[in-house]
Amino acid sequence: MRIHIIHNPKAGRLLGNIGEDLALALLHHGHSVSYYATKGSMNAAEEAKRQCDLGQVDLLLAIGGDGTLNEVVNGIMMSENKLPLAPFAGGTSNDFCSYLKIPTNPEDYAEFLTNKAQARPIDIGLVGDRYFINVVAAGMLSEVAHKTGAQLKSILGSFAYYVEGLKEIVSSDLYKEIEIESQDYHYKGKYVVFLVSNSHTIGGFKNLAPDASINDGYLNALLIKKAPFRNLLEIATQLDSGDHVDNKYVDYFTTKNLCISTNSHMDVDGEELDYKKSNVQAISKAICCYY
């Protein structure tokens, strides 16, 4: 295959020459490889659109964190010629790659892409005018993402988010205001975390949205409402198992469309959004992804 790598070399932990290593591994498996290193914000989106418009390669391989993957997806969606996507983890947070169980070693990945992976249609989401592949979040999850320093992320990886999370829990501004409205659901009040997810892996947790699927045509919404501290601790202990969705302070539902309004930060695939009120919708089978 003709593979074009879009690599964010500044994403996450210091992974050495991960882009070069992956390119060499793919060449050894008989692929034709071209390479592009991003230089700034939305550069990956611009390059993805350019390659889609040119139509001279067979797929786009995104190396980076969830934010880099988000940019590549947005670039693909801006083009009429939507090339298939192949994600490879290369950042602090790689939730979508974790969800797909993508190999993290370059040689293993080259073998996987060559002999096992298939291009399959997947759903994505749209919040305002920004597409997302994994999650839109508001509240503590989003606040933590914005308060975690880049240097701390690079050194500690996803553990950095838990460090900031503990600090956020004991802060005085834990509870935010939100209004959520969909065809079958309405809530207005205080909350801790709200997210709309395409996969079940968010923030390093494997079962935050337990039955979420990237090919069912729906998004999964999760709201953790204001609760006594002891109940929040109980919810925290249930996150790994997915039992939190049955907690009385948690609302969990599937949706194709909803509206969010909040006084908190919102982010899309870990990157900050400029607005605090927006419509969110599922887009069924929007792109093809190799996994």
Q: Give the domain extent around 140.
A: 132-285
Q: Is residue 124 part of a domain?
A: no
Once rounded to an integer, what is the mean pLDDT over residues 21-29? 98
Predicted confidence (pLDDT) at residue 2 exceeds the cutoff of 50 = yes
108 and 6 within one domain? yes
**What is the model's pLDDT at position 275?**
80
Predicted pLDDT at 239: 92
Does 126 map to a domain?
A: no
Whether residue 166 is contained in a domain is answered as yes
If asked whether residues 84 and 141 sit together in one domain, one would say: no
Kindly tell me if the per-residue pLDDT of 216 is higher than 80: yes
In a domain, 290, yes or no: no
Query: What's the pLDDT tens digit per position in 226-277?
Result: 999 899 999 989 999 999 999 999 999 999 999 999 998 899 998 888 888 9
For the chain, the domain total comes to 2
Q: Is residue 123 part of a domain?
A: no
Same domain (yes/no): 279, 136 = yes
pLDDT single digits (tens) 92-111: 668 999 999 999 999 999 99
Phi, psi at 247, each rounded to 5°: -70, 145
Mean pLDDT of the chain: 90
Tell whether 109 and 201 lie within a shared domain.
Answer: no
Q: Are residues 212 and 249 in the same domain?
A: yes
Q: Could you say which of 117, 148, 168 is where a domain stops?
A: 117
pLDDT at 153 over 60: no
pLDDT range class, residue 168, cuts 50, 70, 90: low
What distances in angstroms separate CA 227 from CA 119, 193, 205, one per listed residue? 43, 11, 21
Give the residue numbers annotated as catalytic, written as ranges: 271
164 plus 275 within the same structural domain: yes
Q: Is residue 291 part of a domain?
A: no
Q: Check residue 67 and give its pLDDT.
A: 92
Output the domain CATH number for residue 49: 3.40.50.10330
For residue 155, name the pLDDT band (cuts at 50, 70, 90). very low
> Is the pTM here over 0.85, yes or no?
yes
139 and 112 together in one domain: no
Same-domain check for residues 254 and 149: yes
* Among 202, 211, 59, 215, residue whose Cα is nearest residue 137: 202
Between 112 and 146, the more confident residue is: 112
CATH (domain of 246): 2.60.200.40
Domain co-membership, 113 together with 145: no
Shared domain check, 45 and 101: yes
Residues 113, 136 within the same domain: no
Q: Please check whether residues 11 and 60 belong to one and the same domain.
A: yes
In the listed set 117, 149, 178, which residue is the last one of a domain according to the structure?
117
Given a cut of 50, whether residue 146 has pLDDT beyond it is no
Task: Examine the fold and report which residue of 84, 117, 150 is the final residue of a domain before the chain moves on.
Answer: 117
